[in-house]
Structure 1
Amino acid sequence: MADNNITTRWSNFQPSKALWFWSCAGTAVVVMILGFTAGGWVTGGSARQMAETAAEEARTELAASVCVEKFMSGPNAGAQLAELKEADSWSRDDFVADGGWVTLAGMEEPVDGSAELCADKLAEMEAPTTTADGSGTAGG
């Protein structure tokens, strides 16, 4: 009787070309499935879309930050802020856009979403305090 222990059988095993092919193909499929589901891989189109979304969000955030700075450094910032806070939440972005604070230099139209974000940031701020030299500083 032949020796049938596992090491002998493993030593004598000679896979066919078909077994090698299907083993490699199956491994490649499993690696791709794991890579795209758990490994964080994305297609080129998905990466491009994520980059465009991140760039648009960054533009909106930058424009809103500039808007807040322009708003708070303008004349009567305290009164304007009080008026903004008294306005209905859905009309605050129109208040900011109509005031011209959200339109950046060299642009005819504000960046999409920046007026709403600017209005939200301003609504969260406290009224500016006046320093001894008469200039206002934003609280918040």
Structure 2
Amino acid sequence: MAFDAIAVTVIGFNWSDLVTGSTAQQMAVEQSRTDVIAALTSICVDQSKRDPQLAERVALLKGASSYKRSDTVMENGWATMPGTSEGNRLVAVACAAKVGV
């Protein structure tokens, strides 16, 4: 009987979608972070579209090396969300990919 319980537990966690509470919590935190970055990226893209110097700034963005593009977005202020004083680096990376297309 005890062997059956152990076997079901091992099989359940190894071959199915069962996870521990801490793993489920970690997965939820990661998904939440992803969802927030996606939502804030939409705001960043919208702010870029409202920039009167959009054309020249997008040209600079496209000319920048891939690892400098997020810096350009941060310098433009597009990744600074309303009510905050600093830009968000993760938002800037995602925003640069969308604006620089």
- TM-score scaled by length of structure 1: 0.67
The residue aligned with 1:18 is none
Higher strand share: 1
- Report how many aligned residue pairs link the two structures: 101
Identity score, percent: 33
Superposition map of 1:86-101 within 5 A: 86-101=63-78
Structure 1: unaligned runs, 5 residues or longer: 1-23, 125-140
Higher helix share: 2
SS of residue matched to 1:89: coil
1:27 aligns with 2:10: no
For residues 65 and 10 of structure 2, the distance between their equivalents in structure 1, rounded to whole angstroms, comes to: 49
The residue aligned with 1:72 is 49
For residues 57 and 69 of structure 2, the distance between their equivalents in structure 1, rounded to whole angstroms, comes to: 11
| Higher Cα radius of gyration | 1
RMSD: 1.3
Paired letter, 2:46: E
Superposition map of 1:1-140 within 5 A: 24-124=1-101
Tell me which moved more, 78-87 or 37-46.
78-87
For residues 89 and 53 of structure 2, the distance between their equivalents in structure 1, rounded to whole angstroms, comes to: 26
Structure 2: unaligned runs, 5 residues or longer: none
The Cα of 1:98 is off from its aligned counterpart by: 1.0
For residues 14 and 89 of structure 2, the distance between their equivalents in structure 1, rounded to whole angstroms, comes to: 33
Q: Which has the higher contact order (CA 8 A, sep 6+)?
A: 2
Paired letter, 1:42: V
Residue pair 1:68, 1:121 contacting (<8 A) in 2 also:
yes
The Cα of 1:93 is off from its aligned counterpart by: 0.4
